[in-house]
Structure 1
Amino acid sequence: MAKGKSKTASDTPKRIPKKKLKQLVTDLLLANPSKIFNYKQVSNKLGVGDDITRRMVNELLYELAQEGFAEELQRGKFRAVMQNALVVGTLEMNPDGSADVITEDNREIFIPDFRLNHALHGDRVQISIYRQRRRGLLEGEVVRIIERAKRNFVGAIHFVGKNAFVIPDNKLMPYDIFIPKVELKDVRNGQKVIVQITEWPAREKNPSGKIVEVLGNPGVHEVEMHAILAEFELPYRFPEELDKLAEKISAKITDADYRERRDFRDVPTFTIDPFDAKDFDDALSVQMLPNGNIEVGVHIADVTHYVKPNSPIDNEAIERGTSVYLVDRCVPMLPERLSNFICSLRPNEEKLCFSAVFEMNENAEVINQWFGRTVILSKRRFTYEEAQQVIETGEGDMKEQILLLHTLAQKLRAERFKKGAIAFERIEVKFDLDPKGKPLGVYFKENKESNQLIEEFMLLANRKVAEFIGMQKKGRRELPFVYRIHDKPNEEKLNAFRSFITRFGYSISGTTDRQVSKSLNQLMEKVKGRPEQNLVETLALRSMAKARYSTDNIGHYGLGFKFYTHFTSPIRRYPDMMVHRLLDHYLKNGKPKDKEQIETLCKHSTNMEIKATEAERASIKYKQVEFMQDKVGETFKGVISGVTSFGLFVELTETQCEGLVSIRDLDDDFYRFDEDEFALVGERSGRKFTLGDEVEVEVWRTNLAKKQLDFKLVGMPGKSSKPSTPRRSPKKSSSKKAKVASSRKGQQKPKKKEKRRKR
């Protein structure tokens, strides 16, 4: 026998991982939908020569047939299942790299990570639905990116030889962005930058980009606040030329202004706002009428008197859509001269307003109403705390007016809940900050009677303005308008929430809207002060639809109103400016405005509101992590707020700071994720961790740049935390995806990065 060369490692064919091979086989079938293949032909097309991999190809063909991707026409011969539907929707990334597309008809389509075809979170995409997935859910593939949600990302830059990669802060952006050498001027390794994607060839795993701006070193307060705003593509400075234009706007009230307006300067008027507010856009007046009724004026800053349509300031306000409130600052929609001075209803200064004036009886029923432009003079600026003191003690400035309005507000509130409003009053996290922005303490803003006083009259004004325009009068054409709408909850998500709360001994009864809302209110009352309060309230909110702006009125489910709009905050919301202009136009018997144009602005305003809300949450998370930095090693009580295949999320009871207990650190047993129970279950001990369980944790690590907290489990009340038997070797988990409470994706928490990003 002739001697041959001994086989070396380099001669051994490199095996393709099964997941990658499955993708290649599927892509080949879909690229040739009319052709029939056996495993040998597929192997040859893919350049697979070794027997083990060829056998795997054969197994994968049968697996794809079982899953519905392919069909077996003859024994061993397969063809792709023809794609049967093309739909359009918005893509929402999941932390594991897969995604869901919410279609225009509100269906949810699952997209595997290998079928995204470079689509990213928020993109508007066209997808092909090609099969039913388990649990009746549809599965599809992105075939076209219609519109990118964003091209700019924020992250830290890391040099690799002469080139570099930016690792985005956004956990839903799973790709590093390649930066060529030519773009690496005036930037140092590790700095935070804004990077813009410039190209992404179809066959490249990673996009290429250029540096738009160098923000600075990570962990620095100003850098991180600017990074949060930039991440959501929100401005963090006002254009200098617009500030100069605003300085030229006169604050003087002319004789013509006085003549054209209803004069409320002698009527007792005041504002109630947070202690740190500067933009006071609403005031209340109240006086008794000769007939014994009560006149209540809801006076709103007349922003549109100063900001004209299509002016540079108006165009900037459209672009911004809303003011953005981070933990330490407000990024205004309008230049500061307008928002904090000219339009702000400051005490002892005559101001121009657009007002809703109501004649009410002692039962808070509206007898008559009037809408129009006014001039007012606020006699007093109250903080919520000062107004609350008057309500509680019956003493203080303008006590007669405040107590009368308080009585009316409580009657309005009771009637609102009687008619089906839902009492969603989430606790608001606030921080005591030092002059440099460092958090010294965490506290919670409560919704007391002084808040309710303002809330009820703002709701009344918003509702009555919407009714005035929206209620069809006989023989009148439709008047296109801006409505604030809120759809009924998704039945599947609501049922999942019903199922979840049973573990705490709660339930939601009823079938009609009013019965369900009444039951939800009873639930919110029952959970007050209990450890599971924040979790139950959060999941209840997530089972609801999201409120938005639209010209098509469907009512507001959460408030129980058939007509609702936003009229009361034009300093900080562009839709309110739109409402002021439309209301003024229709009061003057103007012709119907262009509905399509209004709808476009409604959609943009909704999108900007979502971005502003996400930025606010990110800033809160950043400050929570910063607050916990000097508490490493300390133990705290908390509640399990999320369960995933990679660990437990725990929310601390005292501060609502949330962190992860990694499954790797639950070393007393091997834990598997139970999808149906939304729990981690020990294979040997049967020990179970579920949503809402009270636990005690130790702060282990803080990562300020990534806004992450890591905890270690110390114990559970009434349960042993250390079983005596050591951990067994792991078994294979049947779970394919990490899912949590109210829906398949709704409560899933961000997955920790345990391996390098795709490159």
Structure 2
Amino acid sequence: MIWLISPAVFLEKDCPKSPTEADLESDPLVNTYHHLEEQILRFLRNHGQRAYRPKEISKKLNITGNESFRIFQSVIQSLILEGRVGREKGGRITFRQREGHLEGTLRVHRDGFGFVTVEGEEEDLFVRARRMNNALDGDRVLVTRLAIRAGDDRPSAEIITVLERTRKEAVGTLHKQGSFGIVIPDDLRLQHDIYVSDDGSSGAQDGDKVVVSIDSFEDKRGAIQGTILKVLGPSSDPAVQILAVALSSGVRSDFPDGVDAEIMSGKEALLQTEEREDLRKLVIFSIDPADAKDFDDALHITELDGGDIEVGVHIADVSHFVPPGGEIDREAFARGTSVYLVDRVIPMLPEELSEDLCSLRPNEDRLAFSCIMRLAPDTTVQSFRICETLIHSKHRLTYQDAQDIISDDASTHVLKRVLTVANRLAKKMSQDRLERGAINFNSVEVKVVLDEAGHPIDIVPRVRYDAHKLIEEFMLLANRTVARYMSEDSPGAPAAPFISRIHEPPDREKIRQLAAYVRPFGFNLPNQDGMVSAADLNALLNAVSGSPVGPIIEVAALRSMSKARYGVELKGHYGLSEKFYTHFTSPIRRYPDLIVHRLLKGKLAKIKGPKASELQAQCDHLSERERVAVEAERASIKLKQVEYAAGHLGELFSGVVVGVARFGVFVQITDLLVEGLVHVRDMDDDFYQYDEGAYALVGSRSGRRYVLGNQVRVILAAANTETRDINLIFDGLKTSRPRRKKARKRSKR
């Protein structure tokens, strides 16, 4: 960095001697300089090639006061001399991409290396741990390409500088050491310890889980300075462990001050029932999990003269209680979605709304936004209307309740006829979807059973009844009906920008890889240079069903699919084989659905909605929040799976090989429903080499082969809840050597 005003000048009054580099890095004024530099670069970068006068930039950044403006001018001059910004005619400043340098986002692997995603580049750039230059996972970075190494054809790069720190906080375990403490981050992608001062004011105890701010790098040796923001509790507490997992993934837990007043106004809004269609006399019911508290949806099914059937999908009218721009709305948007962890739900909305005012609870008047459709006997939608309604749910069923009624021919339950008709319609709609080209995945999800203290006592597969599929089909029906309506042109005007749930066709290269993957097992996936029809994918899934490798190939096929996202483009939903699709049915737990409700009401009232660019920016954020939630949910399950496995160390189990790599064999233990690794270093009965074409490890002397689908016997050797790793050994081989945790970078103090 070029300093036009020396940092020493800022510190002259307080520092009679020359400051060291560490002094400068930790001084608040120098941090102000760094912060200004980051703000200026971010502002110019976000405005493309547009040029601004320095005074315009300072005004946009709210820089006031003579001293602050003097520092601002120094930063501008320094950036010009370094070539990071350009000066054009009239003294205007513009962002300048350095020649030969690329800008991208860094994703770090738990083993220390990373990849930088650069827009416009076909492949991510590989970055070795020693070339990170103190960048953290998620940072916007500037990189330079490196020459291809012999034997390694991956495009690689070195990080030149960090353009923007995206991580502001971390979660970890505090280890006290005298007057300071070291926080070891739970997220293994954070490869640096965080040093915090410890004057006792935080109340944190040694071994506590804490949330810390990431303030600055203390020096060039890799230590981070931080501040304890929140104490979660003892790291041995199961509830604290799960909360730490969620926060470490980026989930927001506490609601800000100011939401209570809005909740009170929401209670008043519950009384505003005029101009709503009164449907309280209809037999409306809900079907939800036994432990559900937030009831998003309810149904009514009415048989009409002539054989047609009226289906009403009634959705909680959250937009009535959560006006845009309020405190609750801003927090809900920031969260994006409710998060369903292994032991709790972290809601998108405060519980007073999600479990009470908005929730379609039984035997209470509730406000709903309804999609009421008239179906022909073949389930074709003959007509529909979308309206604000007042409903009164008569029955609250669990999935088990509903299934018992459906399955029992002798049932005399008042909903027996309704559920029988609904189940018949759902099966017909499901069959129609498959015939249209929807992909039929049947992957098994697991449920971890916890005791009262939060420790796992069992792991079981989640059961999917016809009752689950019934609700799923009617929600799909409402979603596509709403999407089709919103995509239609209004009289005299084109369709307004709208949010779609987009699922694009799979990447061609991934399909080619999938076809090669299944071939050694005797299965075929026809494709035209990576283009595959839904019919051929379904044929593959049907062919592998029931075979030992069936679940493995289904997971591989699922991973070859594109990730669904939100967007304003009309690109359809490949997996569902729908041209028009959106999310309308879960506004209590998904913010995109809340936006859809607002857009719907706007169209019904002929009110102009937001611009497509504004909606797309919201979609990008909400797709990312969905990714964060899924990561947290999976991590919480994985933690409990590892904890459960730790209670079975030394025991012998049957398993199936579900993955093979150069470094070992992944085995799923059949009885425990957990997956572990037999490391190649522990396969010491032979020297094993990886056969890439056959996805196998082959013994060079014995010829023994470990391939996908092999039935094996393994001993559970180790389970580490910190790294969430499970180590196995094959029965008959030597005891597994304990894995040593890779040392984190530490500064030498």
> For the superposition of Structure 1 and Structure 2, which TM-score range results when normalised by the shorter chain?
0.7 to 0.9
Greater Cα offset, 548-557 or 505-514? 505-514
Could you tell me how far apart the structure 2 residues matched to 1:644 and 1:149 are?
Answer: 33
Residue 268 (str. 1) matches residue 283 (str. 2): yes
Structure 1 residue aligned with 2:516? 499
* Alpha-carbon contact 1:123-1:149 (below 8 Å) kept: yes
Could you tell me how far apart the structure 1 residues matched to 2:106 and 2:693 are?
Answer: 25
Q: Select which of 169, 187, 198 maps to 2:186.
A: 169
Structure 1 residue aligned with 2:559? 542
Aligned 1:439-478 pairs, distance under 5 A: 439-472=456-489, 475-478=492-495
Structure 1 residue aligned with 2:139? 123
Greater Cα offset, 447-456 or 272-281? 447-456
Could you give the per-residue CA deviations for residues 141-199 of structure 1, whole angstroms, max 9, x where no partner exists? Answer: 33454443423222223456765433222222223334456689644443322232211
Residue 107 (str. 1) matches residue 122 (str. 2): yes
Q: Select which of 687, 710, 714 maps to 1:693.
A: 710
Tell me the SS of whatever aligns to 1:631: coil
Q: Select which of 742, 745, 748 maps to 1:758.
A: 745
Q: Check 1:628–1:155 CA distance in 2 against 1; reply closer, same or farther (3 A cut).
A: same
Structure 2 residue aligned with 1:553? 570
Q: Check 1:376–1:161 CA distance in 2 against 1; reply closer, same or farther (3 A cut).
A: closer
Residue 340 (str. 1) matches residue 327 (str. 2): no
Aligned 1:65-464 pairs, distance under 5 A: 86-105=101-120, 107-113=122-128, 114-130=130-146, 137-159=154-176, 163-179=180-196, 186-200=203-217, 203-239=220-256, 241-243=258-260, 245-247=262-264, 249-250=266-267, 253-254=270-271, 257-258=273-274, 260-394=275-409, 395=411, 396-464=413-481
Tell me the SS of whatever aligns to 1:299: strand
Could you tell me how far apart the structure 1 residues matched to 2:148 and 2:508 are?
Answer: 20
Could you give the per-residue CA deviations for residues 320-364 of structure 1, whole angstroms, max 9, x where no partner exists? Answer: 111110111111111111111111111221211111111110000
* Alpha-carbon contact 2:511-2:531 (below 8 Å) kept: no
Q: Check 1:705–1:510 CA distance in 2 against 1; reply closer, same or farther (3 A cut).
A: closer
* Alpha-carbon contact 1:126-1:145 (below 8 Å) kept: yes
* Alpha-carbon contact 1:508-1:516 (below 8 Å) kept: no
In the TM superposition, what is the alpha-carbon distance from 1:219 to its structure 2 partner?
3.0
Could you give the per-residue CA deviations for residues 502-527 of structure 1, whole angstroms, max 9, x where no partner exists? Answer: 23322222449996322222333344
Structure 2 residue aligned with 1:76? none
Q: Percent identity?
A: 41
Could you tell me how far apart the structure 1 residues matched to 2:603 and 2:485 are?
Answer: 10
In the TM superposition, what is the alpha-carbon distance from 1:91 to its structure 2 partner?
2.7
One-letter identity of the residue aligned with 1:325: Y
Q: Select which of 504, 523, 528 maps to 1:487.
A: 504
Q: Check 1:372–1:105 CA distance in 2 against 1; reply closer, same or farther (3 A cut).
A: farther
Tell me the SS of whatever aligns to 2:222: coil
One-letter identity of the residue aligned with 2:655: G
* Alpha-carbon contact 1:486-1:547 (below 8 Å) kept: yes
Q: Check 1:412–1:541 CA distance in 2 against 1; reply closer, same or farther (3 A cut).
A: same
* Alpha-carbon contact 2:583-2:593 (below 8 Å) kept: yes
Q: Check 1:675–1:86 CA distance in 2 against 1; reply closer, same or farther (3 A cut).
A: farther
* Alpha-carbon contact 1:420-1:513 (below 8 Å) kept: no
Structure 2 residue aligned with 1:61? none
In the TM superposition, what is the alpha-carbon distance from 1:676 to its structure 2 partner?
5.3
One-letter identity of the residue aligned with 2:418: Q
* Alpha-carbon contact 1:479-1:592 (below 8 Å) kept: yes
Structure 1 residue aligned with 2:41? none
Greater Cα offset, 325-334 or 157-166? 157-166
In the TM superposition, what is the alpha-carbon distance from 1:207 to its structure 2 partner?
2.7
* Alpha-carbon contact 2:269-2:320 (below 8 Å) kept: no
Structure 1 residue aligned with 2:697? 680
* Alpha-carbon contact 1:269-1:380 (below 8 Å) kept: yes
In the TM superposition, what is the alpha-carbon distance from 1:752 to its structure 2 partner?
6.3
Could you tell me how far apart the structure 1 residues matched to 2:121 and 2:357 are?
Answer: 43
Could you give the per-residue CA deviations for residues 611-650 of structure 1, whole angstroms, max 9, x where no partner exists? Answer: 1111111111111122223222211122233334443332
Q: Select which of 659, 666, 669 maps to 2:676.
A: 659
Q: Check 1:650–1:244 CA distance in 2 against 1; reply closer, same or farther (3 A cut).
A: farther
Residue 585 (str. 1) matches residue 602 (str. 2): yes
Could you tell me how far apart the structure 1 residues matched to 2:627 and 2:297 are?
Answer: 23
Q: Check 1:247–1:590 CA distance in 2 against 1; reply closer, same or farther (3 A cut).
A: closer
In the TM superposition, what is the alpha-carbon distance from 1:552 to its structure 2 partner?
2.1
Could you tell me how far apart the structure 1 residues matched to 2:681 and 2:454 are?
Answer: 35
* Alpha-carbon contact 2:664-2:680 (below 8 Å) kept: yes
In the TM superposition, what is the alpha-carbon distance from 1:242 to its structure 2 partner?
2.4
Could you tell me how far apart the structure 2 residues matched to 1:661 and 1:161 are?
Answer: 41
* Alpha-carbon contact 2:116-2:127 (below 8 Å) kept: no
Q: Select which of 677, 685, 695 maps to 1:668.
A: 685
* Alpha-carbon contact 1:100-1:108 (below 8 Å) kept: no
Greater Cα offset, 465-474 or 429-438? 465-474
* Alpha-carbon contact 1:111-1:142 (below 8 Å) kept: no
Could you tell me how far apart the structure 2 residues matched to 1:197 and 1:240 are?
Answer: 24
Could you give the per-residue CA deviations for residues 111-136 of structure 1, whole angstroms, max 9, x where no partner exists? Answer: 22133333333334444445567786
One-letter identity of the residue aligned with 1:656: L
Q: Check 1:419–1:250 CA distance in 2 against 1; reply closer, same or farther (3 A cut).
A: same
Tell me the SS of whatever aligns to 1:627: helix
Could you tell me how far apart the structure 2 residues matched to 1:405 and 1:106 are?
Answer: 49
Could you tell me how far apart the structure 2 residues matched to 1:494 and 1:612 are?
Answer: 27
In the TM superposition, what is the alpha-carbon distance from 1:568 to its structure 2 partner?
0.3
Could you tell me how far apart the structure 1 residues matched to 2:180 and 2:358 are?
Answer: 51
In the TM superposition, what is the alpha-carbon distance from 1:594 to its structure 2 partner?
2.2
Q: Check 1:194–1:752 CA distance in 2 against 1; reply closer, same or farther (3 A cut).
A: farther
Residue 520 (str. 1) matches residue 537 (str. 2): yes
One-letter identity of the residue aligned with 1:598: L
Aligned pair count?
A: 642
In the TM superposition, what is the alpha-carbon distance from 1:240 to its structure 2 partner?
6.0
Measured on the aligned residues, the alpha-carbon RMSD in Å equals 2.8
* Alpha-carbon contact 2:126-2:154 (below 8 Å) kept: no
Q: Normalization by structure 1: what TM-score?
A: 0.79
In the TM superposition, what is the alpha-carbon distance from 1:705 to its structure 2 partner?
3.8
One-letter identity of the residue aligned with 2:406: I
Could you tell me how far apart the structure 1 residues matched to 2:448 and 2:340 are?
Answer: 13
In the TM superposition, what is the alpha-carbon distance from 1:226 to its structure 2 partner?
1.5
One-letter identity of the residue aligned with 2:220: R
Tell me the SS of whatever aligns to 2:533: helix
Q: Check 1:691–1:142 CA distance in 2 against 1; reply closer, same or farther (3 A cut).
A: farther
In the TM superposition, what is the alpha-carbon distance from 1:500 to its structure 2 partner?
1.4
One-letter identity of the residue aligned with 1:362: P
Tell me the SS of whatever aligns to 2:363: coil
In the TM superposition, what is the alpha-carbon distance from 1:450 to its structure 2 partner?
1.1
Could you tell me how far apart the structure 2 residues matched to 1:246 and 1:540 are?
Answer: 45
* Alpha-carbon contact 1:531-1:653 (below 8 Å) kept: no
Structure 1 unaligned blocks of 5 or more? 1-82, 716-720, 723-750
* Alpha-carbon contact 2:144-2:159 (below 8 Å) kept: yes
Could you give the per-residue CA deviations for residues 251-277 of structure 1, whole angstroms, max 9, x where no partner exists? Answer: 6754x624x122222222111111111
* Alpha-carbon contact 2:258-2:327 (below 8 Å) kept: no
Could you tell me how far apart the structure 2 residues matched to 1:519 and 1:86 are?
Answer: 43
Could you give the per-residue CA deviations for residues 197-253 of structure 1, whole angstroms, max 9, x where no partner exists? Answer: 211267333333232223333232111011112202223344464246425532675
Q: Normalization by structure 2: what TM-score?
A: 0.80
Tell me the SS of whatever aligns to 2:653: strand
* Alpha-carbon contact 2:375-2:381 (below 8 Å) kept: yes
In the TM superposition, what is the alpha-carbon distance from 1:699 to its structure 2 partner?
1.5
In the TM superposition, what is the alpha-carbon distance from 1:609 to its structure 2 partner?
1.1
